[in-house]
């Protein structure tokens, strides 16, 4: 009798398992609803996930565009948030704003006043799980008043108020010869840069940044020269330090980020379309000041040293030189430090140095 019962139970389990099967809902088949504009600061949307059998809980995917956040609100039975993409923000009433990233899980207890949403320049998606969904009431409260932007504080975070280091000054001849296409002189300049303490990742990033001003051919030839030097040194038993790896960047609105970065560096509002041409405007803001400046293994000062040294090698771009010398001034380099840069250029080409010196005088005469 006992064997018969066990056999019947196993048969029933096998039969039910055979009848059940997975249900996959492709992302493209989700039914999306726009988030209510009276409770969200910008564009967001959500889709409710299939109900879990015999569970009172409800769940949904919510996608926030960069900068979009909710109003203050509470949930009568609390809420779980699981960040699935991007970087966002959340805040509990009376406490500081906290950054949330992919993989983070947030539990907001019942009736705790809070808000959440995307990062300032990054999108964010999360799964929201509502315990006891039918009775879990969301109470919407007032709008969030975020801290006002402080360009001076943002600039101070990336400024340098100490003398330029030997590593920083070693960037100048490397960039100058690379922009000129003088690979014969570039090789010893790179070797001197390595000797001064520049890392492999920093040197690679120097050429990556330079392409925006000198073009891909010059930058790629510079990278190839570096690669050959590293191979030669490795064969001699010299192991050059790789340096800090690039921090993984979350999905970002690079146009908004680049506009903010350009405003911070220049001290001016650049929100309008530059030169009345959206193609150049987007390339400069989104790619140069957005994407490239977001790569954190080369500082803002070092990136501008790359730019100024590249422009110096071109000799006929005084307007651009004036702008970027002004940015270095804004970043904390005084006239004495910038003259040290000019002297490094003079060692490569006195005529080019004289041009930079003339432009620098105008920069410090300007109010």
Looking at the structure of the chain, the number of domains it has is 2
Angle, alpha carbons 337-341-344 (nearest 5°): 135
Query: Is there a domain that residue 95 lies in?
Result: yes
Q: d(Cα 286, Cα 291) in Å, to the nearest integer?
A: 6
In this structure, the strands spanning 98-101 and 58-64 are unpaired
pLDDT of residue 36: 97
What is the rounded average pLDDT of the residues 151-156? 93
pLDDT per residue as tens digits for the range 59-76: 999 999 999 999 999 999
Q: d(Cα 303, Cα 328) in Å, to the nearest integer?
A: 10
Q: Could you tell me the CA-to-CA distances from 197 to 201, 241, 339 in Å, in that order?
A: 12, 9, 22
Query: Is there a domain that residue 192 lies in?
Result: yes
pLDDT of residue 17: 53
Query: Which of 49-53, 104-108, 159-163, 306-310 bottoms out in mean pLDDT, i.e. has the lowest?
Result: 49-53
Q: Copy the structure tokens of residue 149.
A: 């932007």
Bridge partners for 2 per DSSP: none
pLDDT of 1 over the 60 cut: no
Q: Copy the structure tokens of residue 85.
A: 């993409």
Buried b (16+ CB within 10 A) or exposed e, 197-214: ebbebbbbbbbbbbbbbb
Q: Could you tell me the CA-to-CA distances from 222 to 204, 226, 241, 291, 297 in Å, in that order?
A: 9, 6, 19, 21, 18
In a shared domain, residues 239 and 329 = yes
**65: CATH:** 2.60.120.10
Determine the structural domain holding residue 160 and report its residue range: 154-246+295-365
Question: Strand, coil or helix: what is 358?
Answer: helix
Asked which of 104, 133, 162 is the last residue of a domain, the reply is 133
In a shared domain, residues 236 and 338 = yes
**Secondary structure (DSSP) of 276-322:** G-HHHHHIIIIIIIIIIHH-TTS-HHHHHHHHHHHHHHH-S-HHHHH
| pLDDT classification of 366: cutoffs 50, 70, 90 | confident
pLDDT of 360 over the 50 cut: yes
In a shared domain, residues 193 and 329 = yes
Q: Copy the structure tokens of residue 230.
A: 């590293």
pLDDT per residue as tens digits for the range 132-147: 999 999 999 999 999 9
pLDDT of residue 62: 98
Buried b (16+ CB within 10 A) or exposed e, 175-189: bbbbbbeeeeebbeb
pLDDT of residue 149: 82
Q: d(Cα 345, Cα 92) in Å, to the nearest integer?
A: 53
In a shared domain, residues 116 and 207 = no
pLDDT per residue as tens digits for the range 274-310: 999 999 999 999 999 999 999 999 999 999 999 999 9
In a shared domain, residues 183 and 322 = yes
pLDDT per residue as tens digits for the range 2-49: 555 444 445 454 545 557 889 899 999 999 999 999 999 999 999 999
| pLDDT classification of 239: cutoffs 50, 70, 90 | very high
In a shared domain, residues 124 and 165 = no
């Amino acid at each position: 009798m006992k064997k018969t019962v066990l056999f019947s139970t196993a048969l029933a389990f096998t039969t039910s398992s055979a009848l059940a099967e997975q249900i996959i809902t492709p992302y493209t088949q989700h039914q999306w609803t726009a988030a209510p504009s009276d409770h969200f600061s910008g564009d967001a949307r959500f889709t409710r996930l299939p109900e879990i059998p015999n569970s009172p809980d409800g769940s949904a995917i919510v996608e926030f565009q960069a900068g979009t956040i909710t109003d203050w609100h509470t949930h009568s039975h609390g809420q779980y948030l699981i960040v699935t993409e991007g970087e966002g923000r959340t805040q509990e009433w009376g406490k500081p704003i906290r950054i949330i990233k992919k993989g983070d899980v947030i539990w907001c207890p019942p009736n705790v006043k809070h808000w959440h949403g995307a990062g300032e320049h990054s999108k964010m998606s999360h799964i929201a799980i509502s315990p006891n969904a039918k009775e879990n009431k969301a109470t919407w409260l007032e709008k969030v008043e975020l801290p006002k932007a402080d360009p001076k504080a943002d600039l101070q975070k990336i400024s340098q108020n100490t003398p330029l280091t030997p590593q920083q000054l070693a960037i100048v001849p490397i960039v100058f010869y690379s922009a000129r296409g003088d690979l014969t002189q570039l090789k010893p300049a790179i070797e001197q840069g390595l000797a001064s303490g520049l890392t492999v990742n920093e040197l690679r990033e120097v050429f990556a940044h330079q392409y925006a001003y000198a073009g891909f051919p010059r930058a790629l030839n510079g990278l190839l020269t570096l690669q050959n030097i590293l191979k030669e040194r490795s064969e001699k038993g010299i192991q050059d330090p790789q340096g800090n790896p690039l921090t993984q960047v979350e999905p970002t609105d690079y146009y908004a980020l680049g506009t903010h970065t350009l405003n911070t560096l220049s001290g001016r509002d650049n929100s309008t379309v530059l030169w009345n041409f959206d193609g150049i405007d987007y390339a400069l803001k989104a790619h140069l000041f957005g994407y490239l400046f977001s790569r954190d293994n080369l500082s803002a000062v070092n990136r501008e040293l790359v730019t100024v040294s590249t422009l110096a090698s071109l000799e006929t771009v005084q307007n651009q030189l004036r702008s970027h010398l002004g940015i270095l001034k804004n970043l904390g380099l005084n006239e004495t430090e910038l003259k040290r840069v000019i002297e490094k250029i003079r060692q490569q080409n006195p005529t080019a140095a004289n041009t930079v010196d003339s432009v620098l005088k105008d920069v410090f005469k300007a109010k």
